Structure 1
Amino acid sequence: MQPVNIGIIGCGNISDTYFNGAKGSDLVRVKACADLRTEAAQAKALQHGVCAMSVQALLDDPDIEIVVNLTVPQAHAPVSEQILAAGKHVYLEKPLASDFGAAQRLLAHAATRGLRVGCAPDTFLGAGHQACRAAIDAGRIGRPIGGSVAMLSRGMESWHPNPEFFFKPGGGPMHDVGVYYVTQLVNLLGPVARVSGCASVGLPQRTVGSEPLRGQVIDVEVPTTVNGVLEFVNGANVAMSVSWDVWAHQRAPIEIYGTEGSLLGVDPNWFGGTPRLSERGGPWQPMDISAHPFGVENYTPNAGARVANYRGVGLTEMVLAMHRGRPHRACGALALHVLEVLDAFGRSSGNGRHLGIECKIDRPEPVPIGADENVFL
């Protein structure tokens, strides 16, 4: 099949990941990019060898079939609505929208037009996470009973060049990073049935420590510490803690406990890593992920060791799913279910009750064994 032409709207910090991911794919080609800041679009166009356009010109281009929406969370829904109105499929960064109602309307709009919506995170497609799923599906820990999740740090204002949106509606540690963990839990355990939560604001203001906005003060409008419990349709329950108020901790990213053993998962912000398994109280054993795609270390973040980073593979999988006429994995329905779960933590904290999750979905299909995006053929 010929590569599908895509456009990118939003030329901020995350856009390089999508430009570079497309260069490594045989399935997509970035034709153009756009941003409300003309200079940002022109800079990315020059850097990556594509055309810089206005947003409207990009939407009007008949060669562009899919538009990747990389705007700030508050703009996700309105910009995606524009993309759909132009008759184009949309793939966007998480979260699907800054509120659940807008996300529902977005998917309803797409359905009426026969268009697809894909949404990050797609890290659950990675080798480390798919190896964990394969172990659970094979019964190596028996029936999943419980688990624990922890995403604890000091936040984004120390390093991100423009961190204000992280502390506004649609941001916060739950919606910005907790989304990776909840998506992976759905991949491992299936859909969530109900949620209880307790949320608070650690610091009412944050001071930017990075250039070019060093010293700017941000008013915090979202919870920055959230604790709670997810109960899954399969009966398992998982304790979850996310915070941007923590200096240090020693908790694992994801642990799943079953009737026959325990599973120590890997950081769902990346694709690889080495999960470990303990069967019936035995020693922790590293799991081999080499048979699964998207696990080879290929990227060095600003701080830390090399990791497997294949962000954008959800987009290429969506392209192949369109070509084959089948559902895609990092789909709008999954993102909507996860968004309802994320929102439920805050709503539960406000009213002091368990909240049932109304958006019903099935687990995404597992990723076949093999190498690279050819596994989706």
Structure 2
Amino acid sequence: MSEMLGIGVVGAGAIATRIMAHLRLPDAAEKVRLAAVCDPVPGRAAAAAAKYGAAASYESYEQLLRDPNVDLVTICSPIGLHYEQGVMAIEAGKHVHSNKTMATKVSEADDLIRRATSRNVRIVASPGVMIQQETRRKRKLCLEGALGQLSWAIAGTAMGSGTYHLNEEVRTGNDLLSNVNPGWYFRRPGGGPMYDATVYPLHELTGIVGPAKHVTALSGIGIPEHMFGSERIVTEMDDSTILLIDFGNAFHGVVYATIAGSITEWTPNIYGTRGAIIGSKFGDEVLKREGDRTPHVTGGHFGLREAHVYEDIMQLVDWVLEGVPSVANAEHARHVIDIIESGYRAAETGCTQELVTTFEPLPLSELQNNI
């Protein structure tokens, strides 16, 4: 393999086009070249390739995987396709970056990890929230006992209404790159705000305080249908879910995905007997600081959307080229998938679910410098 990797972008919708805007910048091109993009909508991949400078475009994912210039893929398709497409990439010998979530079931995540290990293929799974300096400061405070004994936490999003996805600029235009249908967001499998949005605060909360042990939940559909232009979209996936998570030692978390009423603005509040992290503050200390950066988000990347996803991709590139594993690992992603899947099962059965996965959170020794 050469010292520059070829990346294949799977899908040419909202996330994919924003990622390609990063990948065409000169600093990205020092390590990775935009080798190909695929999308099943006729003409969409070709339009994206022309706009962002991809070397090839395909309407078939299988064609992209056969391209010898593609060394790794970033999976930007609807969430319900991520597992199958991840398996196909691994079996083709391609390294994988998966946008959240990399699967919808623990059994699927287990299979991806097993296959990747067997094939000596690397997986980085978004969102890599523990790359962020702010989040690492929060974990350091908890590990050093600054909050005292942890009591409870709350985190979540109010993305269940679907308004954001229905009105994104890539949905409301009249060309191939700006009329992308959001219907997948309301369908099974993989639709709904838990897998798409609340996955972020779940990654952050577990990254800060460590893996959970049990979950129970209430869940349902609050808005039964939506209109996208003249198309009526029936809501199949729950849009209103409240999880109650047991982390052990009488420390509990409330995590929500609702149609209205966000309390925490994506980042968790964590309360202890000596203090609390409220959003980005610990008392008077501001934890999100001017000058905070991740290793690859510099220069022109700051003004572009989905910079955190670009960082996750470059974490994979570094892992492949330099042998440096990423904290945005598949094991953490699997644990969050376990919480979501088990939460839905708890809501359906009325019974608290024991989680079957875990992961290794960052130790204090890795949090002492550069935060």
TM-score when scaled to structure 1? Answer: 0.83
- Asked if the contact 2:22/2:304 (under 8 Å) is kept, the reply is no
Q: 1:165 aligns with which of 164, 167, 184?
A: 184
| Aligned counterpart in structure 1 of residue 117 of structure 2, from 107, 111, 126 | 111
Q: Deviations over 1:244-285 (max 9, x none)?
A: x22x555554200122100012xxxxxxxxx1112xxxxx44
1:178 aligns with 2:198: yes
Residue type matched to 1:12 in 2?
G
2:101 maps to 1:95: yes
State the Cα distance separating 1:336 from its structure 2 match: 1.1
**Counterparts of 1:104 and 1:338 in 2: how far apart (Å)?**
13
225, 234, 245: which one aligns with 1:205:
225
Task: Report if aligned partners of 1:167, 1:221 keep a CA contact under 8 Å in 2.
Answer: yes
- What is the rounded CA distance, in whole Å, between the counterparts of 1:86 and 1:334 in structure 2? 24
Equivalent residue number for residue 308 of structure 2: 310
1:103 is aligned with what amino acid? A
Verify: 1:45 aligned to 2:49, yes or no: yes
* 1:218 correspondence with 2:218: no
Question: For the residues of structure 2 that align with 1:13 and 1:186, how far apart are their CA atoms?
Answer: 27
CA-atom RMSD, angstroms? 2.6
Other structure's SS at 1:312 match:
helix
Q: Tell me the distance in 1 between the aligned counterparts of 2:114 and 2:131.
A: 26
Q: Which runs of 5+ in 1 are unaligned?
A: 209-213, 266-274, 279-283, 302-307, 372-377
Q: Percent identity?
A: 21
Deviations 1:320-373 (A, max 9, x none): 2334434321122211111111111111011111111111211146578559xx
Which stretch shows the higher mean deviation, 313-322 or 175-184?
A: 313-322
| Separation in structure 2 between the aligned mates of residue 277 and residue 141 of structure 1, nearest angstrom | 9
Cα separation, 2, equivalents of 1:69 and 1:219 = 26
CA distance in 2, matches of 1:20, 1:48: 6
Is the 1:292–1:370 Cα contact (8 Å) retained in structure 2? no
**How far is 1:226 from its partner?**
0.7
Tell me: CA distance 1:53–1:109, structure 2 relative to 1, closer, same or farther (3 Å): same
> SS state of the match for residue 357, structure 2?
coil
CA-to-aligned-CA distance 1:90-145 (integer Å, 9 cap, x gap): 11111112333333222222222121222111244223323322332333222322
Counterpart AA for 1:207:
M
CA distance in 2, matches of 1:300, 1:61: 28
How far apart are the structure 2 equivalents of 1:140 and 1:29? 45
Letter in structure 1 aligned against 2:14: N
Equivalent residue pairs, number? 344
Give the letter for the 1:226 counterpart.
T
For residue 221 of structure 1, give the secondary structure of its aligned residue in structure 2: coil
Residue number in structure 2 paired with 1:75? 81
1:237 aligns to 2:241 (yes or no) = no
Map 1:331-370 to 2 at 5 A.
331-364=329-362, 370=370
1:86 and 2:92 equivalent?
A: yes
CA 74–201 in structure 1, closer or farther in 2 if over 3 Å, else same: same
Q: Which residue does 2:174 correspond to in 1?
A: none
Structure 2: runs of 5+ lacking an equivalent:
172-180
Select between 143-152 and 171-180 the one with higher mean Cα deviation. 143-152
CA-to-aligned-CA distance 1:130-162 (integer Å, 9 cap, x gap) = 332233233322232211113124324541422
> Residue type of the partner of 1:216?
E
Distance, in Å, in 1 between the alignment partners of 2:77 and 2:12 is: 8
**C-alpha deviation, 1:290, in angstroms:** 4.0
Instruction: Tell me the equivalent position of 1:33.
Output: 37
In structure 1, what residue type is equivalent to 2:193? P
| Alpha-carbon distance between aligned partners in 1 of 2:230 and 2:118, rounded to the nearest angstrom | 47
Which residue identity lines up with residue 234 of structure 2 in the other structure?
D
Alignment of 1:155 with 2:162, yes or no, is yes
1:44-85 CA-to-partner distances (Å, cap 9, x unmatched) read 111111123333332123332211111111211121111111
